[in-house]
Structure 1
């Protein structure tokens, strides 16, 4: 798995080895390493009436330009064609901006689609933690190979997508089996016994898939925590070294003279002498 493309709309999350396309609306790309996320763009909310008014206003300057082009000798069919194409493209783009983003399901083999809320939430959390891991790599030069680490992390996200697709299928099967009523059937009926056996096998698969998914999620979480902890330790160490240098600079050489107490003493002596002179002058008077 060299690259991974991930897109999530209101109904599903699509994971593919090939770039994704939008069926409606627009999406912007955010690439981190070998993983490219397609993020839905918020719809403009423009109604059909507003879009028609926009095209009507756009057609006025186009008509003026067309008149100048016709006066310059250009063929009328060419001018009309350019005008219609411009209006069609502007209307198409304005319409897509007003729509909610939905992704097409790739026809290429290997595309995974997550539709259940639980599996979508788990995968979205894993992708977010993977971004945290990648943000720690610039602070770990010489400790890890970013290319190898990126390939390993991308492969882990790919494995998790496949596992969660399998788990959502087990979830549906489990819900279907649990919904079958057996109250009116004898407990020793072959059908009831077969149903119980299938429920037990499904439960085993359910627990095994949960253990596998949790193992991948836990590994991703631990990797992010280890990297972020090390980065914080580096920052704390750098702060301590700066404080040590500042303290060494402040404690170097003799301490500054304490002139403030001397000034206070001199001021007290001067004021006492002034009071005595003032008292003597009053006695003479």
Structure 2
């Protein structure tokens, strides 16, 4: 994985790449958080063809007037007209693209090494799994400002991005295995002799596919669990720290009201939670 991970989710697929994503249609918006760059589709503008024509005409009329004035003062009329036409064309293209439903282009990276190619998830199960991991990663990142001193945000960011990258690779393999297992399950071997090499080959490949299916499933579950554990550990620690602060405030208030000294503060439970947070991030980096 490179220094960045670009993730784009549209209505038909999820694209994960080490390089910036491009749109096939519509407009997109990029949001960077550390080494993760999320690219989101923008909603269509809703402008009809007639509305776009009217808008382009409103832009063109003042430009024609400016071109005529420039020609009257001795400037090259064709240069002004060409510039005006180019500007109107640019506005028209922007308006037309904004009216489209956004969709990401599938990266054409066949010339790149296998490890640097984009992963495109089409199947619903794999997309749902990755979307869940992406949502959990946002929860993890949201806890970092309050965990200053406990978690190195730079190292944690790299570990979290690497986990998402590895998950995309594993889910891409599962997507291919899902299709392969479906193809193999559709092969009829009942009427083929038991000692046929073709039948033995199909059965062998089906067993290999099943073994890889279980292996990739275990790997995906491990990564998903590590991200979710880090999110829950951080959120639980923050909630418990807030509750502890409220309890200390109440204790001091009651001591002031009753005139009795407050008990000495001790935090073994929070110390245990601190270790849980650190352990969760240690597992995430594995």
TM-score range, shorter chain: 0.7 to 0.9
Give 2:157's aligned residue.
Answer: 150
Structure 2 residue aligned with 1:168, among 160, 175, 194?
A: 175
SS at match of 1:176: helix
Map 1:1-285 onto structure 2 (within 5 A).
Answer: 1=1, 2-108=3-109, 109=112, 110=116, 111-252=118-259
Q: Offset at 1:80?
A: 0.2
Structure 2 alignment gaps of length 5 or more: 261-286
Bigger Rg over Cα? 1
Structure 1 alignment gaps of length 5 or more: 254-285
Distance of 1:227 and 1:69 partners within structure 2: 65
Q: Offset at 1:182?
A: 2.6
Give 2:265's aligned residue.
Answer: none
Distance of 2:142 and 2:212 partners within structure 1: 35
SS at match of 2:46: coil
Distance of 1:213 and 1:80 partners within structure 2: 59
Distance of 2:119 and 2:197 partners within structure 1: 37
Q: Offset at 1:35?
A: 0.2
Give per-residue Cα distances to partners, 1:248-281, cap 9 Å, x unaligned. Answer: 333349xxxxxxxxxxxxxxxxxxxxxxxxxxxx
Seen in structure 2, the aligned counterparts of structure 1 residues 239 and 73 have a Cα distance that, compared at 3 Å, is farther
| TM-score normalised over the length of structure 2 | 0.83
Distance of 1:77 and 1:66 partners within structure 2: 9
Q: Offset at 1:121?
A: 1.2
Distance of 1:129 and 1:146 partners within structure 2: 16
Distance of 1:64 and 1:240 partners within structure 2: 73
SS at match of 1:5: strand
Q: Offset at 1:188?
A: 4.2
Q: Offset at 1:18?
A: 1.2
Distance of 1:138 and 1:126 partners within structure 2: 20
SS at match of 2:16: strand
Q: Offset at 1:46?
A: 2.4
Q: Offset at 1:68?
A: 2.9
Number of paired residues? 253
Note the aligned Cα RMSD (angstroms). Answer: 1.7
Distance of 1:72 and 1:119 partners within structure 2: 65
Distance of 2:249 and 2:67 partners within structure 1: 69
User: Which aligned runs of 4 or more in structure 1 are off by greater than 4 angstroms?
Assistant: none
Give 2:267's aligned residue.
Answer: none
